[in-house]
């Protein structure tokens, strides 16, 4: 049982993205960016976005953190590219519901989350939820043009 939970948490796709994060690096010409930190563990993420006519044209990130936070940031940048701001916000909410296991019935269709549903195992590890959530909170701040540093300790 214990090992199953662990395999759920560290799925292949998560390990793959943590070892070879996609869209890693600064984004020249980005018109939105935000910085997030998890003060308890020191994880850092900066998310860069190029937004044109309410569509996320490009997304990249830099930062340092554990496998869960790195993979989450990597897969997030892939997932939001091409999405409208409204769609990206909706994805944020679904993802958040997934990792905190707080979804309403029918709210988090795996088909809509796609590869992101690999993070479903995180809800079994309450102390690791913040790792998965950091990049997404930072994304949201970037979309909302919030210049304050995002903290996982403030965003309940």
Integer Cα distance of 100 and 123 in angstroms: 5
* Residues written for the chain: 156
Residue 9 phi/psi, 5-degree rounding, is -70, -50
89-108 mask for other proteins (x: CB under 8 A)?
Answer: --------------------
Please give the size of the binding site for other proteins, defined by CB under 8 A.
23
Least Å from the CB of residue 6 to other proteins: 5
Q: Which is nearer to other proteins, 71 or 116 (CB)?
A: 71
Q: Contacts with other proteins in 11-50 (CB under 8 A)?
A: 15, 19, 40-44
Q: Which is nearer to other proteins, 5 or 102 (CB)?
A: 5
Least Å from the CB of residue 29 to other proteins: 29
Q: What's the distance, CA 95 to chain centroid?
A: 8
Could you tell me whether strands 32-38 and 150-151 are parallel, antiparallel, or unpaired per DSSP bridges? parallel
Integer Cα distance of 74 and 126 in angstroms: 21
């Amino acid at each position: 049982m214990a090992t199953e939970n662990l395999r759920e948490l560290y799925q292949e796709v998560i390990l793959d993205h943590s070892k070879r994060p996609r869209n890693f690096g600064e984004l020249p010409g980005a018109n939105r960016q935000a910085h997030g930190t998890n003060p308890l563990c020191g994880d850092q993420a900066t998310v860069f976005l190029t937004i044109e006519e309410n569509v996320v044209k490009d997304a990249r990130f830099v930062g340092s953190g554990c496998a869960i936070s790195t993979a989450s940031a990597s897969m997030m940048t892939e997932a939001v590219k091409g999405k409208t701001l409204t769609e990206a916000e909706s994805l944020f909410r679904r993802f958040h519901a997934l990792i905190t296991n707080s979804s309403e019935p029918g709210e988090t269709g795996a088909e809509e989350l796609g590869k992101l549903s690999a993070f479903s195992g995180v809800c079994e590890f309450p102390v690791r939820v913040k790792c998965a959530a950091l990049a997404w909170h930072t994304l949201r701040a970037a979309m909302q043009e919030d210049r304050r540093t995002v903290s996982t300790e403030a965003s309940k």
